[in-house]
Structure 1
Amino acid sequence: MELENFRREEKLPPQKLAIAQYVVAAVLLALVAGMWRLSVLGADSYRVLAEQNRVRKVPVLAPRGKIFDREGRIIVDNYPSVSCYLLREQTKNLDADMPRIAEGLHMTVDQIQAILKRYAYAPKYQPLPLKQDITPDEQAFIEAHRTELPELQTLDEQRRLYPRDGFMAHVIGYVGEVSENDLKQTRYAFYSPGDVVGKSGIEESYDEELRGQDGSRDVIVNSHGKEVGLMGQELAKPGRDLYLTIDLDLQKAAERALEGKTGAIVAMDPHTGEILAMASRPTFDPNQFAVRLSKAYWQSILDNPDHPLLNKAIQAQVAPGSTFKVIMTMAGLQENVAQNLTVSCNGGATFYGHFFGCDRHHGFVDIHNALPYSCDTYYYTLANRLGIDTMARYANSVGVGVKTGVDLPEEAAGTMPSEQWKMKVMHDKWYAGETISVGIGQGAIQATPLQMARALSGIASGGVLRRPHLVMDKELSADELSAVKQTFPGSGEKTIPLTPENWQIITDDMAGVTGPIGTAAEAHLEGVDFVGKTGTADVVSGRKKGDHNRNTIPNAWFVGMTPRRNPDIVVAVLWEHGYWGNNSAKLAAQVITAFVNKQREKAGNLVKVAAVKPQVGLGDAAPAADANSATTTPADPDAAHSPAKKDNE
């Protein structure tokens, strides 16, 4: 009886037994569901993760296309380089490894932490560029510590090799790592952090063509991250080579002429718009930007008051001085105002109650000697007759105040004032007295050397203006050429009305500038139809004669060409603080000499042009003659060339 009662007490109530059964069933169901999720639903993802534990995708960077001159001579090449990348998924405690990595790569811990902070939002599987162009001893360090530091990976790259001493730096530009600000722009939508892109010049303008398409290698790695085999690869597609319109011989001549000076020289073929040479000073070393820019070098750039990164050929916006008088001559002739205009220059004239000076007493001046003399009094009078809006219309027609459309980034448009312009920009009306200074290329007018080269060569070509460009048109398809023109809008190809009679007068007058009575007589080239126009533009209003403070010394301009009608080459020179326009004329003559001698050599003509002595400094500039001195040699008041040569010229 007692045993029966004991067994009855050991039995579980049916309710508790049912609950226990349900709990066991639920646990078994959860286990089965988990196993099914892992083995079926997550099979692919876990297979990929497992594969990644033994297979690593290593990028193969495409070499950028090389850059050549018009004759196939190489300008920009590539050289083999090794960079170090950081694989974050290969380390469990990067903070502990950081001091050792910093020491081996000759970096600081702060530098590494800054890189990690910059790429904080990048996917963890993405290799981070730790140090570019590492040295052989740094490569040896990585190989020797492959087991302890599996997070370090080396990658072979092709890195840019630019000419030395900043040669052609402003034309070529440079490459650098894409920045965070770049990645926010639409054009960089398909770029990733660490990618190398063109930052200025041709490198930026034609980055898509030059950069190529990266490939990759699927390599087998062991548990220590060491490569032990290759599963497959996708070959990189090298970037496209580009052939520029630049002629290295003329480029060298332009660079030599500008050595030690501040300014720009641009040479162009007016028939095609092909830029044959473009130099700007001071320059910079693009090789410094191609790897990791040092703070010291960047600070030296920032501290330079002459702005080495500025391409003065297309970005220096300054008053063109008396070179603008060629455009004034065209406007006066086309408006039938200048043909019968004569003035008696007694050192200046009064307009609207203000006396506007001319540095010489030129006496009787008409349209035929106004340009060679560069008589300010004549052009003051012509400007007063034409009015600012007529002057602006003709200046705009030849591209002053309008971008040329050259295929380089950040071209400046310059300024051509008008009544509408002043009201829009300054919210004030235009006063007639302001027109007088604009007539000699002073006042509110601003232009770039390329604009003036194109404007004057277009006039000398009978009114036909071509779009300046630096990449040979034959290198681009029709669609690519159209895209370039849309990317770099400007006045482009155009023809302006210019009668044959006026065309002849203007070009003959420009020939007088380099003739015996002209302001650029010292730049005359025997046996060469070398013509042009000098100009000196004051940089400080009210500058006193004899003031030699650099910041008050005028800018020296010259735009010249050969031959005088339908020229084969035009050269524009801006020498900042170069004093007189005849100084710049001598620089232009050096480039013209190189061009003519090369053409004669090709034609089998052994008669070389005698070179003009290079202008090496302001000590070579002859002082302006006093306005009251007796001389029969007229001089440009904006180019004030000496009545007699000095021993040092």
Structure 2
Amino acid sequence: MSLAGPPLPRQLHNDEKISPTKLAGVQYVIVLVLAVLVAGLWRLQVLGSDNWKVLAEANRIKKVPVLAPRGKIFDREGRLLVDNYPSVTCYLLPEQLHDPNVDLPLIAKGLHLTVAQIQTILNRYKGAAKYQPIPLKQDVTPDEEAFIEAHRNELPELETHDEQRRLYPRDGFAAHLIGYVGEVSEAMLNNDSRYAFYSPGDVVGQSGVEQTYDALLRGTDGSRDILVNSHGKEVGLHGQEMAIPGKDLRLTIDLDIQRAAEKALDGKNGAIVAMDPHTGEILAMVSRPAFDPNQFAVRLTRSYWNEILNNPDHPLMNKAIQAQLAPGSTFKIIMSAAGLQENVAQDMHVVCNGGADFYGHYFKCDVHHGMVNIDNAIPYSCDTFYYTLANRLGIDTIARYANEFGLGQRTGVDLPEEALGTVPSTMWALKNFHRKWYAGETISVGIGQGAVTVTPIQMARAIGGIASGGVMHRPHLVFPDEVPADVFTSLSENHPGSGEKTVPLTAANWETITDGMAQTVQPGAFHTAAAARLDGIDFAGKTGTADVVGGRVKNSSDKRTIPNAWFVGVAPRRNPDIVVAVLWEHGYWGNNSARLAAQIVNAFVTKQRRLANNLRLAEAPKAAPAPDTTPTASNAAPHVPAAE
């Protein structure tokens, strides 16, 4: 019996062998894969070791920005005007925010905010990098800081930074000339090349010298590298880059003169500019009503913003450089210079019987002055004389001299958004209204009404220049030699103006004008500012009473119908050391503003005498009362007719 089983299938009898070629191919593939893996490991472990080390360090090092403190601001004698104070700001780290629905209500409660406010802030920084800290709240209180620390593990997205905040003078003191700071807006980042290198959250100057000299004041930010553990808690300092503080700024402002100007305009609306005509240095600048720049130094509240935005008296407007109003009779100094230089006014003798007819219209003068010539026309402020002079000169001659003395153009003062004003002419009428200029319109321009408008700083520069023999300097708030050359060049380009110039005046004409201005503040039957006389001080000037739109309404309780009171004064009368321009909105007669200017001139002269050890003090006039609305021989001012 055979024990052999059934025969095996053929394929089991003949084992198939892998060809040497295939075997070699598989081996090469395996070697190649291993080589690639080895090369990758070598690249990671050797070539990329430094890079991975940096990334690993980044996992435990947090970069914290250190904001540079802004430069301080001083007056001309080194007295501090604007300082900084230590503050704490709470930031949110977007990359650490895991569940907004849970975290945001808790954060809002602890920081005394609303969820909507936080969402608005987050939306503003939506396009920013995830690692960029977002400022949630400035000037964090001690209890809010304690809340952040107590919830460090629960809310790792919150952190606090120590910063320096602006501290401005109280009660809006010098607010318009100093300005304020605030976070750079999205519109500024998108539309203004000056902010091309800024980031959301950066603090920049928004107005005044804070804006003009922001590049000098802001400094360069630094940073600190903080060691943190796996929970984000700080455990040490790895390194730091020191912040470079901003440059301190010394203004031309004299704190004593500024105080006198602030006091003079207290409770009134308008502006005051005091300037040294020899150099163009601004000694004081006030605009009222004012605002509190400290409100802008931290996050501005909506209620305060609405309050100042809806104020009809425009507290944000720097009226010293932006109020464009009819100058009234202060313009008669420009008219006098034009008439004398053109050899028209010297031989003019006009009989004033309370007005005169021109082109079929009667133009009124409030007082019957009798015989008037150029010697008494300025102290009398006789409208009839200047109506006649304007008619003889013609509008284009008047415009030429007004432009020569810097009206209708910016002075170039180193402040943002200076206004131009308006000097009408035949070309002006054609360009703006596509019509001819009517001769009857010239009559009103002759007394500073009609279409002519000026700013207080323009009038200060023009009248100060005339009293200086026609020499006019560019007004400025910072000493040019303390500003780097490239910054000064940039300022000149960004603040164009008529600059330094001389308008030739003959010695005789110069003396006639300045003597007439001096007589204005001396006792006299028709002298318009006799009440502002300063004993022992060579004080000169010119009043102006400028009707507002709608004309002068007698016995009206609506202040909008009350004329604006102007005065521009100098001391001494020739080559003055100070010029003061005062605009008192709805102050009625110009002699009311003359009293305010006298207070400032008195403060200036008294200080100069004290510094020179000459203690002979001048007698200051009493504080200006409520506007005097009754014309008399001593305070009469012109009634202004509507232009034809």
Same fold (TM over 0.5): yes
Q: Which residue of 2 aligns with 1:71?
A: 77
Show the counterpart of 1:554. 563
Distance 1:124 1:550, change over 3 A: same
Work out whether 1:181 is the aligned partner of 2:182. Answer: no
Query: Are 1:338 and 2:345 matched, yes or no?
Result: yes
Whole-angstrom distance in 2 between the partners of 1:25 and 1:581: 102
Give CA-to-partner distance per residue, 1:137-169, whole Å, 9 cap, x none.
Answer: 111111122222221111110100000011000
| Change beyond 3 A, Cα 1:10–1:195 | farther
1:531 alignment counterpart:
540
Distance 2:347 2:601 in 1: 34
Could you tell me which of 120, 136, 142 is aligned with 1:136? 142
* One-letter amino acid matched to 1:120: K
Distance 2:16 2:579 in 1: 114
Alignment correspondent of 1:459: 466
3-state SS of paired residue (1:79): strand
SS in 2 for 1:591: helix
Report the residue type matching 1:375 in the other structure.
Answer: C
Match of 1:149 in 2: 155
> Taking structure 1 as reference, are residues 157 and 616 closer, same or farther at Cα in structure 2, changes over 3 Å only?
farther
- Which structure has the larger Rg over C-alpha atoms? 2
Cα distance in structure 1, aligned partners of 2:118 and 2:27 = 59
Contact 1:76 1:161 in 2 (8 A): yes
Show the counterpart of 2:313: 306
Q: For 1:85, which of 88, 91, 104 is the aligned residue?
A: 91
Q: CA deviation at 1:20?
A: 9.3
Looking at structure 2, the residues matched to 323 and 380 of structure 1 have their Cα atoms a distance apart, in angstroms, of 14
> What is the root-mean-square deviation of aligned Cα atoms in Å?
2.3
Which residue of structure 2 aligns with residue 503 of structure 1? 510
Q: Does the aligned pair in 1 maintain the 2:364–2:639 contact within 8 Å?
A: no
- Residue number in structure 2 paired with 1:282: 289
Where does 1:171-210 land on structure 2 (aligned, <5 Å)? 171-184=177-190, 185-210=192-217
1:106 aligns with 2:106: no
Aligned to 1:617, the other structure's residue is in SS state: coil
> How far did residue 615 of structure 1 move?
1.6
Cα deviations by residue, 1:57-111 (Å, 9 ceiling, x for unpaired): 1111110000000011000000001101112223433443212111111111111
The aligned runs of 1:24-39 (5 Å cut-off) are none
- Listed one character per residue, the Cα deviations across residues 127-146 of structure 1 (whole Å, up to 9, x for unaligned) are 11111110111111111222
Listed as ranges, the gaps of 5+ residues in structure 1 are 626-630, 640-649
Moved more, 601-610 or 133-142: 601-610
Does residue 7 of the first structure (1) align with residue 20 of the second (2)? no
Amino acid at match of 1:377: T
326-335 or 590-599, which deviates more: 590-599
Distance in 1 between residues matched to 2:521 and 2:17, nearest whole Å: 123
What is residue 221 of structure 1 aligned with on the other side? 228
Aligned AA (1:615): A
- What secondary structure sits across from 1:402 in the alignment? coil
Under a length normalisation based on structure 1, what TM-score does the superposition of the two structures give?
Answer: 0.93
Instruction: Work out which of the residue numbers 556, 578, 584 in structure 1 matches 2:593.
Output: 584
Structure 1 match to 2:637: 636
1:125, distance to aligned residue in structure 2 (A): 1.2
Tell me which residue corresponds to 2:408: 401
- Distance across 1 between alignment mates of 2:296 and 2:285: 21
CA distance in 1, matches of 2:597, 2:559: 22
Question: For residues 72 and 345 of structure 1, what CA distance do their matches in structure 2 show?
Answer: 53
Aligned residue number for residue 127 of structure 2: 121
Distance verdict in 2 for CA 1:93–1:24, change over 3 Å: farther
The answer as to whether partners of 1:250 and 1:595 remain within 8 angstroms in 2 is: yes
SS at match of 2:351: strand
Q: Which amino acid aligns with 1:555?
A: N
| Post-superposition CA distance 1:512-534 (Å, at most 9, x none) | 11011210000011111110000
Q: Give the secondary structure class of the aligned counterpart of 2:132.
A: coil
Give the residue type in structure 2 aligned to 1:148: E
Q: Which amino acid aligns with 1:569?
A: I
Match of 2:417 in 1: 410
3-state SS of paired residue (2:588) = coil
Kindly tell me: are residues 7 and 148 of structure 1, through their superposed partners in 2, closer, same or farther at Cα, counting changes over 3 Å? farther
Distance 1:634 1:279 in 2: 25
1:372 to 366, 379, 383: 379
Q: 1:224 to 1:268 in 2, by over 3 A?
A: same
Question: Is the contact between residue 529 and residue 635 of structure 2 (CA under 8 Å) also seen in structure 1?
Answer: no
Cα 1:597–1:8 change in 2 (3 A) is farther
Is the aligned partner of 1:566 residue 2:575?
Answer: yes
- Deviations along 1:230-277, one digit per CA (max 9) or x if unpaired, are 121111110000000001111011111111110001100000100000
Match of 1:351? Answer: 358
Q: 1:183 to 1:45 in 2, by over 3 A?
A: farther
Does residue 449 of the first structure (1) align with residue 440 of the second (2)? no
Which moved further from structure 2: 413-422 or 476-485? Answer: 476-485
List per-residue Cα deviations over 1:531-589 (Å, max 9, x = no partner).
Answer: 00000110024434444421111000000010000000000000001111000001101
CA contact (8 A) 2:444 2:450 kept: yes
8 Å Cα contact 2:204/2:211 also seen in 1: yes
Deviation at 1:43, TM superposition (A): 5.5
Contact persistence 1:265–1:573 (CA under 8 A)? yes
Q: Which amino acid aligns with 2:115?
A: V
Does residue 489 of structure 2 align to residue 482 of structure 1? Answer: yes
Work out whether residues 373 and 634 of structure 1, in 8 Å CA contact, stay in contact via their aligned partners in 2.
no
Whole-Å Cα distance in 2 between the matches of residues 448 and 109 of structure 1?
46
Report if aligned partners of 1:90, 1:225 keep a CA contact under 8 Å in 2.
no
Q: Distance in 2 between matches of 1:240 and 1:463?
A: 36
- SS state at 1:228 partner: strand
Closer/same/farther in 2, CA of residues 34 and 103 from structure 1, 3 Å limit: farther
Q: Distance in 2 between matches of 1:356 and 1:33?
A: 101
Q: Secondary structure at the match of 2:292?
A: coil
SS in 1 for 2:523: coil
Tell me if the contact between 2:76 and 2:252 (Cα under 8 Å) persists in the aligned partners: yes
Q: Secondary structure at the match of 1:265?
A: strand
Is 1:521 aligned with 2:526?
Answer: no
Would you say the 8 A contact 1:581–1:638 is kept in 2?
no
Task: Please identify, of 96-105 and 264-273, the stretch whose mean Cα deviation from structure 2 is larger.
Answer: 96-105
- Matched to 1:164, the amino acid is R
Q: Which residue number corresponds to residue 628 of structure 1?
A: none
Q: Secondary structure at the match of 1:209?
A: helix
Question: In structure 2, what is the equivalent of residue 647 of structure 1?
Answer: none
1:244 to 242, 251, 254: 251
Q: Percent identity?
A: 68
* Aligned match of 2:437: 430
What is the deviation of 1:296? Answer: 0.5
Distance change in 2, residues 1:49/1:111 (3 Å) = farther
1:27 to partner: Cα distance: 7.9
Q: Check 1:44–1:429 CA distance in 2 against 1; reply closer, same or farther (3 A cut).
A: farther
Matched, 1:614 2:623: yes
CA separation of 1:578 and 1:11: change in aligned 2, threshold 3 A: farther
Question: Letter of the aligned partner of 1:448 in structure 2?
Answer: T
1:569-622 Cα offsets, whole Å, 9 max, x none, are 00000000111100000110110111111111112222221221112433xx15
Offset, 1:5: 4.0
Equivalent-residue separation in structure 2 for 1:419 and 1:342 (angstroms): 28
Q: CA deviation digits over 1:459-508, x for unaligned, max 9?
A: 00000001100012231233332322222110011011100000000000
Distance across 2 between alignment mates of 1:540 and 1:431? 20
Gaps of at least 5 residues in structure 2 are 1-5
Contact preservation (8 Å) 2:563, 2:585: yes
Q: Alpha carbons of 1:430 and 1:36: their partners in 2 closer, same or farther (altered >3 Å)?
A: farther
Matched residue, 2:326: 319
Q: Distance in 1 between matches of 2:139 and 2:179?
A: 20
**Counterpart in the other structure of 2:3:** none
2:477 matched to 1:470? yes
Partners of 1:488 and 1:357 lie apart in 2 by: 41
Distance in structure 2 (CA, Å) of the matches to 1:74 and 1:40: 59
Deviates more, 1:327-336 or 1:354-363: 354-363
